[in-house]
Structure 1
Amino acid sequence: MPKSIKETAFEILHTLKSAGFETYCVGGCVRDSLLGKTPKDWDITTEATPDEIQEIFPDADFVGASFGVSIVKKNGFPMEVATFRIDEDYTDSRHPNKVTFTRSAVKDVARRDFTVNALLMDEDEHITDFVMGKLDLQDHLIRCVGNPNTRFHEDALRMLRAVRFCVLNDFHLEDSTKKSIFRNAYLIQNVSAERIANELSRMFTSGHVDVAFDLLMETNLSYFILPELLDLVNCEQDEKNHPEGDVAEHTKLLLKNLEKDCSLTLTLAVLLHDIGKPKTKEINKRGTICFYGHEHVGAKMTQEILSRLKFSNDVIKTVVSHVQNHMKFFAANQMKKSTLIRFLRTPNFSELLELHRLDCIASNGDLSSYNFVKEFFESHQEEIFQKPFIGGDDLIALGFNPSPAFKGILKRMEDLQLEGEFANKKEALNFLS
């Protein structure tokens, strides 16, 4: 039977230990094991230098030789093995300027980010804890190893990572760590947009995104990453349609109702669907708060926000479409059949429909528009995805001269088809004859 990745890690531990080198598993694999989860990766740390590792494992590759990181391939798994090290000063908010190898596991642990990630496990699954990480794990606390200001100046992305660990594991930020993030939140500007987007993506697809929303606000990270969210707070809404409160509370309710492991595009659409409300807020003649055109303003803002954060073009296109179209449901029962069907052809419509359901639940709870569209969508699949009976070649065959007018003619013919004016291509051709 093939060896598992955990068994493979322990084999490497045993081999290095038998050669006289102090060696452990470290990081997320130890943390997750103690939380009763199944780790995806097993990282190894050892006093053996890269050269000594290669003597024992001749096929080992150096992927970060200057940082003491080797890849040992065993049982079909590429296993990361890192030499104990001390990191010198950081100047790029990501990498140490210099590292020094050490034979001390205590000194190696001292450079790590959080206490729950600094636990060591040997091949007998005994835990070595130099930083009281087990206690923090039991108390569900994220606490920096050593001085939190130092840790965040070394790598500012650790601030976002701290929030993600809280969201993912239902943990809380230890007080001094949380205060340090608030004071140092400006450092996140030194981190590339791509790294921030990657961290947000992992955070936003792990469930409890409403907790992420709150923590980004409380730690001041939102001010430097998603400042547009700040305007949602205290942006009041009409109490009849939104008894839940301001736009921020409404957004948080949607986020809270998201299913775990939902798509990134749905989460981002939920987060940003009302981002245009603060800029469009007004009081109408009846004295009611309204936000005319907020979906159009919001779509433009969403394009700018996600482009700034360097999300992929596919993600941006989908989320912008969701924000642009999320208000159309409320007029669906008044649309002509052809208009409704064209709306139901919106890319990723099932996801857009779920956004509308969440929007209704987080407002006044009226699901009538959702139920109408859902029933129509499910009962008219053949019509929705039916190809047009008439194409440009058909018009030419009938004697029409190619021109810009073709587009309008073809749209009109498809509209008539969707309205049921003709049941097949023959009837459509007869209509044009």
Structure 2
Amino acid sequence: MSGRELALQVSRRLREQGFQALFVGGCVRDLVLGREPADFDVATDATPDQVLALFPNSLAVGAQFGVVVVVDGEHRVEVATFRSDVGYSDGRHPDRVAYARSAQEDVQRRDFTINGLLMNPESGEILDYVGGRADLKTCLIRAIGEPSRRFAEDKLRMLRAVRFAARFGYAIEAGTFAAIHDHAAEVPRISAERMREELTKLLTEGAARRGFELLDETGLLEQVLPEVSRMKGVEQPPQFHPEGDVWIHTRMMLEMLPAGCSPTLAWGALFHDVGKPPTFVPESVTGSRIRFDGHVEVGARMAEEICRRLRFSNEDTDQVVALVSNHLRFKDVPQMRPATLKRFVRLPRFAEHLELHRLDCLSSHRNLGTHDFVRRFLEETPEEQVRPARLITGDDLLELGLTPGPRFAEILKAVEDAQLDSQLTSKGEAMEWVRRHFVEHSLGSGKS
């Protein structure tokens, strides 16, 4: 059963019991635009208790706000009771939910006109009480009713306006834009998790550049990611970055992120040069060219701080920081020892590192020499040479009479480096190599 089939089934069951049931929100918007919706929402005059009685296996995750989730396998349909919310003291949740009598009253509380459309699931008739169809035709993101009130109800709507405008290539209606600008300073009240999720969607829906330009134009960027905002006007040495300043370079990279790209790659692209503004030294000081000494290390620390602030998982934080930490290593690839190169390409999710480097090159000097070098190396080098089985273990070191301790890791790494450099190919060679380089040396120095 598809998501649409589940939504039709839910709607029919509600109607059979005498309730109203209409598709609502983004699914109707997408159907009007000729797109297949990712999910379906149903609006009804049935109360949450009545919905739960009809669908006993559903989830009462938002029942206090009039929302029940009907689940069938991997598909979920949100069923929301017609309501008119009363007050939003916390800038997200209604202080009190009053159930409404009609769909027309219900849509007045929703965010934007293009998301306020309703559809009769049986006939396909579109019900438009907010002017959403006209705004779809003229490509406008417009708040329903008074924009300032909509944004006071939920601060996240300001970020959503930017995301929808970027994703669809729409403009933000003047009154809605002005209200976002006026209330931008309130956006930090959004929880870190909700802000991260919305920004991640903005980065991965195929319109990241336009999205971040709109964040900047509305005044939201300085509030949500001041570290990124500080990239503006930070000049770079033209011999390496003919495209312009750090902000231009970063936006060019964002423009090349496709819809559905890895979130950590997208955040890595956004943050890869975040350490440049605080390390900028002009050529008038250096006497040669603009420099950003230590910007990788500074940027990695800043990226980690931002990821912690936005409550990223530890795994995603580690990957974003690794992308920032390693993005300059590609320039040294042609001179790397085989062991160093093999360890480099063994980094977790190395494909993201390689893609970040490609985007970085295409957004500056456009020389893909090192990218192609690494790509060929990966294509031509067997996996067993990049990740060979270990020749010896700690037990073998004990057999050689070495004393366990931190030095074991150092010795095993040295053996693996020699193996990756093709100097050692068997356990016997490795044991003799250790005996010669470590055991005899230890005996000669009186250590064991």
Normalised-by-shorter TM-score class: over 0.9
Percent identity over paired residues? 45
User: Comparing 147-156 with 282-291, which one deviates more in the overlay?
Assistant: 282-291
Decide whether aligned partners of structure 1 residues 139 and 392 sit closer, same or farther in structure 2, where only a CA change above 3 A counts: same
Candidates 93, 96, 106, aligned match of 1:98: 96
In 2: Cα distance, 1:74 partner to 1:307 partner: 35
Secondary structure, counterpart of 1:352 in structure 2 = helix
Change (3 A) 1:38 1:426: same
Counterpart residue number, 2:352 = 351
Which structure 2 residues correspond to residues 240-389 of structure 1 after superposition, within 5 A? Answer: 240-283=239-282, 285-380=286-381, 381-389=383-391
Q: Offset at 1:77?
A: 5.7
The secondary structure found in structure 2 opposite 1:289 is coil
Query: 2:444 maps to what in 1?
Result: none
After TM superposition, the structure 1 = structure 2 runs for residues 381-400 of structure 1, keeping only pairs within 5 Å, are 381-400=383-402
Match of 2:420 in 1: 418
Counterpart in 1 of 2:441?
none
Moved more, 356-365 or 40-49: 40-49
Question: 2-side partners of 1:30 and 1:88: how far apart?
Answer: 26
2: CA distance between counterparts of 1:234 and 1:86? Answer: 46
Question: Does 111-120 or 333-342 show the bigger shift?
Answer: 333-342
Structure 2 CA distance for aligned equivalents of residues 102 and 306 of structure 1: 41
Structure 1 residue 279: deviation in Å?
A: 1.2
Does the Cα contact within 8 Å between 1:277 and 1:298 map onto a contact in 2? yes
Alignment RMSD: 2.2
Measure, in 2, the Cα distance between the counterparts of 1:135 and 1:384.
Answer: 58
The aligned residue for residue 120 of structure 1 is 118
2:162 aligned with 1:160: no
Q: CA deviation at 1:57?
A: 5.8
Pairing 1:122-271 to 2, within 5 Å after superposition: 122=120, 123-271=122-270
Work out the CA distance in 1 between the residues paired with 2:412 and 2:430: 11
| Partner Cα distance (1:395, 1:66) in 2 | 64
Offset of 1:189 from its aligned partner?
1.6
Distance of 1:323 and 1:301 partners within structure 2: 10
Q: CA deviation at 1:349?
A: 1.4
**In the TM superposition, what is the alpha-carbon distance from 1:143 to its structure 2 partner?**
0.7
Q: 1:48 to 1:350 in 2, by over 3 A?
A: closer
1:118, CA displacement in angstroms?
0.6
Q: Is the 8 A contact 1:140 1:170 kept in 2?
A: yes
C-alpha separation between the residues in 2 aligned to 1:58 and 1:277? Answer: 56
Number of residue pairs the alignment of both structures matches: 431
Q: After alignment, is 269-278 or 283-292 more displaced?
A: 283-292
SS of the residue corresponding to residue 82 of structure 1 reads strand
- Distance in 2 between residues matched to 1:178 and 1:124, nearest whole Å: 36
Q: Is the 8 A contact 1:8 1:75 kept in 2?
A: no
In terms of mean alpha carbon deviation, does 275-284 or 401-410 score higher? 401-410
After TM superposition, the score normalised by the length of structure 2 is 0.90
> What do residues 242-295 of structure 1 show as CA deviations (whole Å, max 9, x unaligned)?
111100000011111122211001000000000001111124655211212211
Look up the equivalent residue of 2:195 and give its one-letter code.
Answer: I
Distance 1:202 1:237 in 2: 29
Q: Distance in 2 between matches of 1:66 and 1:421?
A: 68
Q: Structure 1 regions of 5+ residues with no counterpart?
A: none
Measure, in 2, the Cα distance between the counterparts of 1:214 and 1:19. Answer: 49
Query: Residue 83 of structure 1 corresponds to which residue in structure 2?
Result: 81
Give the AA of the match of 1:294. H
In the alignment, the residues of structure 1 paired with residue 59 and residue 280 of structure 2 have an alpha-carbon distance, to the nearest angstrom, of 59
Q: Which amino acid aligns with 1:416?
A: A
Q: Secondary structure in 2 aligned to 1:130?
A: coil
Distance 2:56 2:316 in 1: 43
Distance 2:373 2:28 in 1: 50
**3-state SS of the aligned residue for 1:290?**
coil
Give the AA of the match of 1:98.
R
For residues 62 and 378 of structure 1, the distance between their equivalents in structure 2, rounded to whole angstroms, comes to: 51
Amino acid at match of 1:414: E
What are the Cα deviations for residues 286-340 of structure 1, in whole angstroms up to 9, with x where unaligned? 5211212211110000000111011111110001011001101111212222222
Do residues 42 (structure 1) and 44 (structure 2) align? Answer: no
Bigger CA drift: 395-404 or 126-135? Answer: 395-404
Q: Shift of the alpha carbon at 1:41?
A: 2.2
> Retained in 2: the 8 A contact 1:63–1:70?
yes
**1:5 alignment partner AA:** G
- Once structures 1 and 2 are overlaid, which stretch shifts more, 184-193 or 3-12? 3-12
Structure 2: state its 5+ residue gaps. Answer: 436-448
SS of 1:229's partner is helix
Q: Which moved more, 1:131-140 or 1:415-424?
A: 415-424
Q: 400, 403, 409: which one pairs with 1:407?
A: 409
Identify the residue that residue 108 of structure 1 maps to in structure 2.
106
Q: CA-to-partner distance for each residue in 1:367-415, whole Å, 9 max, x for gaps?
A: 1222222222332333221133222211111122223332322222222
Distance 1:366 1:61 in 2: 53
1:69/1:82 contact within 8 Å kept: yes
Q: Tell me: CA distance 1:147–1:282, structure 2 relative to 1, closer, same or farther (3 Å).
A: same
